[in-house]
Amino acid sequence: MELTIISPLDMHLHLREAEMLDFVLPLTSSYFAGAVIMPNLQQPVDSKDRLTHYRERIVNQCKDHGFEPYMTLFFKPYPANFLDEIKEQIIGIKLYPAGITTQSEQGVGELKEARDTFTIMEDLNIPLLVHGESHGYVLDREEEFLQTYLWLAENFPKLHIIMEHITTRAAVEFLDKYDNISATVTLHHLLLSLDDVIGGLMKPHLFCKPVAKSPRDRDALKQVVFSGHEKVMFGSDSAPHPIHAKECAGCAAGIFTAPLALPALATLFEQEGCLEKLQLFVSDHAVNRYQLQPIKKNIQLVRKPFVIPEKYGTITPFLAGKTLPWSYA
């Protein structure tokens, strides 16, 4: 049995820099037609120079793969002339509340002070991608942040706002309240609850931000994804960290899923009896929401066991050592 996915897109991806970039990039560019590249580098991507250099480095590294890096800028208050000049080179601007996750220290402190930039983005039709967590109690962070999404959605009705990597039933319910809100969902949040992370022995390779929530929350995510909701797009949030940064005191947040995401999603969608909806989740919804014309690239999956390696270089992947029924042809 075979399955063809047309121009799969990963709408939220961390590629990092230097050797890590060189190593992880082909593990996405071989299997996807494009990906939205996160800007949280050690020096955030917040200038034209940084954006151009980062894009060139990515493009040079995957020339033969038919892969489009959709670049993002790191949210800061930016002037209108700068955004007007740069808007053709980015798919959107990524907002991190300051200090909320990996390399986000230079993120936004007081959101309402960024009002002018939101107005400019709305005028210029630049989407806003948001890491939506407050600084409250860890399990309440996403739900608390819904007030901020509400403020954004109401005050900037033409701004396309993407709630990144949603993890809660409350966020799923919020999605339909405003036309200008969309969401991405990861593979790992469809599979995990907090029990998997800390319910038994603590599993650093399942630790990410936002943390996985309750089984009830996970079920709400599954329900909205498998129903083929058109505002819900796949964003892996594949976030590689070397083993020494995961297996230590002070484990870094992030789960590396890029090379196995499509076979694992095919497995999940098949189990749920909705394999025909996979194409919508991993490509069509993003194409429609963002009005993209992705590179034409057919990815073939076959029903043949795929043993997920224990390691990719220095990285332990999600589902390491497990066997999936679907693999790349």
Query: Can you give the binding site for ligand DOR, defined by CB under 6 A?
Result: 14, 40, 101-102, 131, 208-209, 237, 239, 253-254
Task: Examine residue 10 and tell whether it contacts Zn ion (CB under 5 A).
Answer: no
Closest CA to 265 of 307, 325, 203: 325
Residues 6+ apart with CB under 8 A from 196: 203, 206, 212
The residue (of 102 and 168) whose beta carbon lies closer to ligand DOR is: 102
The residue (of 14 and 218) whose beta carbon lies closer to Zn ion is: 14
Query: How many beta carbons lie within 10 A of that of residue 136, not counting itself?
Result: 12
The residue (of 169 and 209) whose beta carbon lies closer to ligand DOR is: 209
Query: How many beta carbons lie within 10 A of that of residue 120, not counting itself?
Result: 19
For residues 185 and 277, the answer to whether their CB atoms sit within 8 Å is no
* 237 labelled catalytic: yes
Choose the one of ligand DOR, Zn ion, none that binds residue 209, judging by a C-beta under 5 to 8 angstroms depending on kind.
ligand DOR
Closest CA to 44 of 73, 18, 20: 73
Nearest distance in Å: CB 279, ligand DOR: 26
The residue (of 237 and 284) whose beta carbon lies closer to Zn ion is: 237
Nearest distance in Å: CB 94, Zn ion: 8
DSSP 139-170: GGHHHHHHHHHHHHHHH-TTS-EEE-S--SHH
- For Zn ion, the binding residue among 78, 237, 318, 319 (CB under 5 A) is 237
Nearest distance in Å: CB 41, ligand DOR: 9
Q: From the candidates 49, 176, 179, 237, which is the catalytic residue?
A: 237
DSSP 215-247: HHHHHHHHHHHHTT-TTEEE---B----HHHHS
Nearest distance in Å: CB 252, ligand DOR: 6
Task: Examine residue 122 and tell whether it contacts Zn ion (CB under 5 A).
Answer: no
Q: Which residues are catalytically annotated?
A: 237
